[in-house]
Chain A
Amino acid sequence: MSYPAILLALALAVAALFAASLMVGPAGLPASASLRALFGAEGRALVLVMQEIRLPRALLAAAVGAALGLAGAAMQGLLRNPLAEPGLLGVSAAAALGAVVALQTGLAAAFALALPVAALAGAGLAAGLMLAVAGPRGGTLALILAGIALSALAGAATALVLNLSPNPFAAAEIVFWTMGSLRDRAMSHLWLALPFLALGAAMLLTARRGLDALTLGEEAAATMGTGLVRLRILVVGGTAALVGAATAVAGAIGFVGLVVPHLVRPLCGGLPSRSLPAAALGGAAMLLAADLATRLLAPERDLKLGVVTALIGAPFFLHLILRTARAEA
Chain B
Amino acid sequence: MRPPRAPPAALALALALAAAAPAAGGAPARVVSLNLCTDQLAMLLAAPGQIAALSHVARDPRASAMATEAMAHPVTHGGAEEVFALAPDLVLAGTFTTRATVELLRRLGVAVVEVPPPGSVAAARAAIVTVGAALGREAAAAALLAEFDAGLARLAAPPGPRPRAAIYAAAGWTGGAASLSGEILSRAGLANLAAELGLDAGGYLPLELLVLAEPALLVLARPYPGASRAEELLTHPALAALAAGRPAIRPDDADWVCGTPHLLRALAALRAARDLLPEAR
Q: A–B direct touch, CB within 8 Å, in complex?
A: yes
Which chain A residues have a beta carbon within 8 Å of chain B's beta carbons? 25-27, 44-46, 48-49, 52-54, 103-104, 106, 108-109, 165-170, 172-173, 176, 184, 186-188, 299-302
Q: Which residue of B lies closest to A177 (CB)?
A: B229
A109–B212 CA distance with the chains assembled, in angstroms: 30
Q: Which residues of B contact A46 (CB under 8 A)?
A: 212
Is B12 at the interface (CB under 8 A from chain A)? no
Q: Which residue of B lies closest to A25 (CB)?
A: B208
Given A48-B241, A52-B238, A300-B203: A184 and B233 interface contact (C-beta under 8 Å): yes
Q: Mark B153-191, 1 if CB is under 8 A from A, else 0.
A: 000000000000000001110000000000000000000
CB–CB A26/B208 < 8 A: yes
Whole-angstrom distance from the CB of A249 to the nearest CB of chain B? 10
CB–CB A48/B228 < 8 A: no
CB–CB B228/A165 < 8 A: yes
A48–B237 CA distance with the chains assembled, in angstroms: 9
Q: In B69-116, which residues have CB < 8 Å from any A CB? A: none
CB–CB A54/B224 < 8 A: no
Contacting residue for A104 out of B211, B226, B231, B233, CB 8 A? B226
CB–CB B227/A165 < 8 A: yes
Which chain B residues have a beta carbon within 8 Å of chain A's beta carbons? 63, 170-172, 203-204, 206-209, 211-212, 214, 224-231, 233, 236-238, 241-242
The secondary-structure label for the interface of chain A is helix
A48–B172 CA distance with the chains assembled, in angstroms: 17
CB–CB A48/B227 < 8 A: no
Q: Which residues of B contact A104 (CB under 8 A)?
A: 226-227
Whole-angstrom distance from the CB of A192 to the nearest CB of chain B? 12
A156–B6 CA distance with the chains assembled, in angstroms: 43
CB–CB B228/A52 < 8 A: no
Contacting residue for A172 out of B204, B209, B230, B233, CB 8 A? B230
A167–B63 CA distance with the chains assembled, in angstroms: 11
CB–CB A52/B241 < 8 A: yes
Q: Which 3 A-B pairs have the closest CB atoms?
A: A167-B226, A169-B228, A52-B238
Contacting residue for A301 out of B204, B226, B227, CB 8 A? B204
Q: Which residues of A contact B212 (CB under 8 A)?
A: 27, 45-46, 49
Whole-angstrom distance from the CB of A28 to the nearest CB of chain B? 10
In the assembled complex, 25 residue pairs joining A and B whose CB atoms fall closer than 8 Å, in A order, are: A26-B206, A27-B209, A44-B241, A45-B212, A46-B212, A48-B211, A48-B242, A49-B211, A52-B236, A52-B241, A53-B208, A53-B238, A54-B208, A104-B226, A106-B227, A165-B226, A165-B227, A166-B224, A166-B225, A166-B226, A167-B225, A167-B228, A168-B63, A169-B230, A300-B203
A299–B228 CA distance with the chains assembled, in angstroms: 23
Given A45-B214, A52-B236: A167 and B206 interface contact (C-beta under 8 Å): no
Whole-angstrom distance from the CB of A116 to the nearest CB of chain B? 15
The secondary-structure label for the interface of chain B is helix
Q: Which residue of B lies closest to A173 (CB)?
A: B229
A33–B248 CA distance with the chains assembled, in angstroms: 29
CB–CB A300/B204 < 8 A: yes
Q: Which residue of A lies closest to B198 (CB)?
A: A300
Q: Which residues of A contact B203 (CB under 8 A)?
A: 300
A46–B233 CA distance with the chains assembled, in angstroms: 19
A151–B115 CA distance with the chains assembled, in angstroms: 41
Q: Which residues of B contact A187 (CB under 8 A)?
A: 237
CB–CB B224/A167 < 8 A: yes
A44–B224 CA distance with the chains assembled, in angstroms: 31
CB–CB B224/A186 < 8 A: no
Given A49-B211, A184-B207, A301-B204: A170 and B238 interface contact (C-beta under 8 Å): no
CB–CB B229/A53 < 8 A: no
CB–CB B229/A176 < 8 A: yes
A165–B242 CA distance with the chains assembled, in angstroms: 30
Q: Which residue of A lies closest to B228 (CB)?
A: A169
Whole-angstrom distance from the CB of A168 to the nearest CB of chain B? 6
Contacting residue for A169 out of B209, B214, B231, CB 8 A? B231
CB–CB B229/A27 < 8 A: no
Q: Which residues of B contact A53 (CB under 8 A)?
A: 207-208, 211, 236, 238
Q: Which residue of B lies closest to A165 (CB)?
A: B226
Q: Which residues of A contact B231 (CB under 8 A)?
A: 167, 169
CB–CB B228/A186 < 8 A: no
Q: Which residue of A lies closest to B172 (CB)?
A: A184
Whole-angstrom distance from the CB of B199 to the nearest CB of chain A? 9
A173–B224 CA distance with the chains assembled, in angstroms: 15
A138–B173 CA distance with the chains assembled, in angstroms: 48
Q: Which residues of A contact B171 (CB under 8 A)?
A: 169, 172, 302
A62–B225 CA distance with the chains assembled, in angstroms: 33
Whole-angstrom distance from the CB of B26 to the nearest CB of chain A? 38
Q: Which residues of A contact B236 (CB under 8 A)?
A: 52-53, 184, 186
Whole-angstrom distance from the CB of A146 to the nearest CB of chain B? 29
Whole-angstrom distance from the CB of B236 to the nearest CB of chain A? 5
Q: Which residues of A contact B230 (CB under 8 A)?
A: 169, 172-173
CB–CB A188/B237 < 8 A: yes
A300–B197 CA distance with the chains assembled, in angstroms: 12
Q: Which residues of B contact A299 (CB under 8 A)?
A: 206
Q: Which residues of B contact A176 (CB under 8 A)?
A: 229
CB–CB B224/A168 < 8 A: yes
A71–B204 CA distance with the chains assembled, in angstroms: 34
Contacting residue for A167 out of B204, B214, B227, CB 8 A? B227
Whole-angstrom distance from the CB of A295 to the nearest CB of chain B? 10
